[in-house]
Structure 1
Amino acid sequence: MHTITANHILDVKEKLKDYDDFTFSIDFNGNPILLIEKKIDNYYRHEVLHYLRGGPIYFQVPEVSDWYSFAQPIDDNWLLVNARNDFYTNNATIYDRSGNVIRSFALGDAVQDIQTTSNSKIWVSYFDQSDGGELNCFDRNGSLNFDFVDFVIDNNRELPFITDCYAMNVTSHYTSVYYYYEFPLVRLKENGEYEIYHDIPIKGSHAFAINDSEVLFANDYDRKPEVYLFSLLDRKLKKYTIQDKMGNIINYEYAIGRGNKLFLVKNTNMYVVDITEFSCK
């Protein structure tokens, strides 16, 4: 069994003492974002911590009547999104840094993941309870710029439709998705072209890191403390166990992929491994 040593980058335990729940995400530059939540009477209080190199930046979200599931930077502002909505409900709100609402709009129900880009595109993936969305891209005003269903039809159905988008990884060059039920890996390029890789030997992974020639998948349906490095060129597969710098196995609970980095979460701790630091060769 091969091993990878992950770098420990965060422990947010102390910050969570006065809050009920939290979620992690990653921005387009690979910086962690912590969204924390506390219910007070009939309202929800949220705080966003953006962990930049110079230290965390705090954003206090005004109290709202429903909870937020995702936080992502957009322009110089913050996009907060609830994973669920109904036909009449906006589930996305953009706040300025002072907490003022700039605009609200609907991104659809059953949101699996949100990843924004440096030029303010909002990529949204959906799980299998969605009301029609599979993978969409919106602009900063909430206008739909890309619909995966239309894209499949426009390309003569050469791509399989998405039933449940298990994992998404958005970079400045392309957006990659891995989805049920055939579990292909599809890389969408800015110019409208795409690459598809069939028969991926990993089933049920929920996150991946990617570069030009390799993909590092988080654990699959077995949920073992492992990751899987797959070559897109020669289809070689190598399995790794993740350990910390003391040599202890990291039984991570879930992962987040952004660019060539895979972020691993265990309890209140976050670790990171970089796909460029090892190879299938």
Structure 2
Amino acid sequence: MSKRSGGGQVRLRQHAQLTPAQPGQVAVTVSVGPHGEAVALWSSTAGREALLGSTLSASGVSFPDSVTEAGVAAEVAIYSPQARNVISVPDLALAHCHVQPLPGGRILLVGARSRRLAEAMENNAVIVDADGRTVRRGTLGDGIGHVHTTRSGKIWVGYFDEGVFGHSNGSPPLGAPGIVRFTSRLVPEWRFPDGEVDPIHDCYALNVTGETAWTTYYSDFPVVRIAKDIVRSWPGGRTAAHALIVDDTRCALIGGYGEHHDRILVGDLDRGHFRRHRLVLPNGRPLPRRTVMIGRGAELHAFVDTTWLRVSLSDLP
């Protein structure tokens, strides 16, 4: 078991305010690209509702939709930190999208869910060019929790439990390994290996820096590095984390269940000693539970609505 000791507060610093791509639009989702740029999907209020839609089953359970009833007009804006590029997507039909940049000014949009249609899974990935025209479609699998592209155009995908264990007509689902890397042609080229380290039941966090991926996952929450397709594992904090940032073997694990949503554990993977801190807003106020936190390399990016906050691993005690 890794040792942990108490610490104090870590204040995030405000980096930028994300402005709408068009007047009157609202943010649908936001992510971080391979250069540390923010990537936001914008639409109208009605469009946002459609793109984040769900269906209530007869038993009263709400299931996220995989597609919208009709195409939705949306814009993808890239910020570094101010808006420098906006791409219009006039007919977006993928619900609960992950959005990432690709080389050549292209944009990847990936729906979190993919239904089985007859003998094949529903397409849930679209690549559009700089003019918003669809240039490629594909299927990246169901139950997608994380999508990160690299500067060279590789696509790393992490799956939550429904993608790992989901139905697939007798054959393992595409997301069964827990992490799969795709080419920019949406073709799988690498899968998390079976038997080398503890299997992934639910990919809680994924950090891609350069061409190297880092992850922590259920059930025992190791910290795992994938570099040149070689996997190395450390015990980590042995506790849930929903984001991580890394620099060599120095690591910070961010978030957790319930009241630990603002927890940050900082330590060295080789030494196995982690110090606990609490993330707060720049003014010292508590971090809202709705905060979206994404690790890219040694930088933690936090989004509270349209406010972009950051903190670097080098700033942490």
- TM-score, L = length of structure 1: 0.88
Q: Counterpart of 1:194 in 2: which secondary structure?
A: strand
Q: Distance in 2 between matches of 1:19 and 1:37?
A: 5
Equivalent position amino acid for 1:145 in 2: E
Match of 1:4 in 2: 10
* Superposed displacement of residue 85, structure 1: 1.1
Runs of 5+ unmatched residues, structure 1? none
Q: Counterpart of 1:230 in 2: which secondary structure?
A: strand
**1:173/1:89 CA distance change after superposition, 3 Å:** closer
**1:247/1:53 CA distance change after superposition, 3 Å:** closer
Match of 1:201 in 2: 237
* Superposed displacement of residue 271, structure 1: 0.9
What is the alpha-carbon root mean square deviation over aligned residues? 2.2
* Superposed displacement of residue 68, structure 1: 5.0
Q: Distance in 2 between matches of 1:277 and 1:78?
A: 32
Tell me if the contact between 1:229 and 1:238 (Cα under 8 Å) persists in the aligned partners.
yes
Runs of 5+ unmatched residues, structure 2? 1-6, 48-68, 167-172
Identical positions, percent: 24
* Superposed displacement of residue 30, structure 1: 1.0
Q: Distance in 1 between matches of 2:139 and 2:97?
A: 14
Tell me if the contact between 1:37 and 1:67 (Cα under 8 Å) persists in the aligned partners.
no
| Cα distance per residue 1:12-47 (max 9 Å; x no partner) | 476697346521100011111111234458332221
Tell me if the contact between 2:38 and 2:81 (Cα under 8 Å) persists in the aligned partners.
no
| Residue pairs, 1:150-169, within 5 angstroms | 151-152=193-194, 157-169=195-207
Match of 2:76 in 1: 48
Q: Counterpart of 2:241 in 1: which secondary structure?
A: coil
**1:67/1:16 CA distance change after superposition, 3 Å:** farther
**1:278/1:100 CA distance change after superposition, 3 Å:** same
Equivalent position amino acid for 2:268 in 1: S
**1:208/1:223 CA distance change after superposition, 3 Å:** farther
**1:64/1:109 CA distance change after superposition, 3 Å:** same
* Superposed displacement of residue 159, structure 1: 0.8
Q: Distance in 1 between matches of 2:23 and 2:81?
A: 24
Equivalent position amino acid for 1:119 in 2: S
Equivalent position amino acid for 1:59 in 2: I
* Superposed displacement of residue 250, structure 1: 3.0
Size of the alignment, in residue pairs?
Answer: 271
Matching residue within 21, 27, 38 for 1:32: 38
Match of 1:189 in 2: 227
* Superposed displacement of residue 66, structure 1: 3.6
Of residues 55-64 and 91-100 in structure 1, the stretch that sits farther from structure 2 once superposed is 55-64
Q: Distance in 2 between matches of 1:93 and 1:68?
A: 13
Match of 2:111 in 1: 82
* Superposed displacement of residue 197, structure 1: 0.8
Match of 2:210 in 1: 172
Tell me if the contact between 1:44 and 1:67 (Cα under 8 Å) persists in the aligned partners.
no
| Cα distance per residue 1:137-157 (max 9 Å; x no partner) | 110111110011xx22xxxx1
Match of 1:144 in 2: 188
* Superposed displacement of residue 227, structure 1: 1.5
Equivalent position amino acid for 1:214 in 2: R
* Superposed displacement of residue 240, structure 1: 1.6
Q: Counterpart of 2:161 in 1: which secondary structure?
A: coil
| Residue pairs, 1:1-281, within 5 angstroms | 1-12=7-18, 18-19=24-25, 22-38=28-44, 39=46, 42-53=70-81, 55-67=83-95, 69-76=97-104, 77-86=106-115, 87-130=120-163, 131=166, 132=173, 133=175, 134-148=178-192, 151-152=193-194, 157-190=195-228, 192-198=229-235, 200-224=236-260, 225-251=262-288, 253-279=291-317
* Superposed displacement of residue 80, structure 1: 0.9
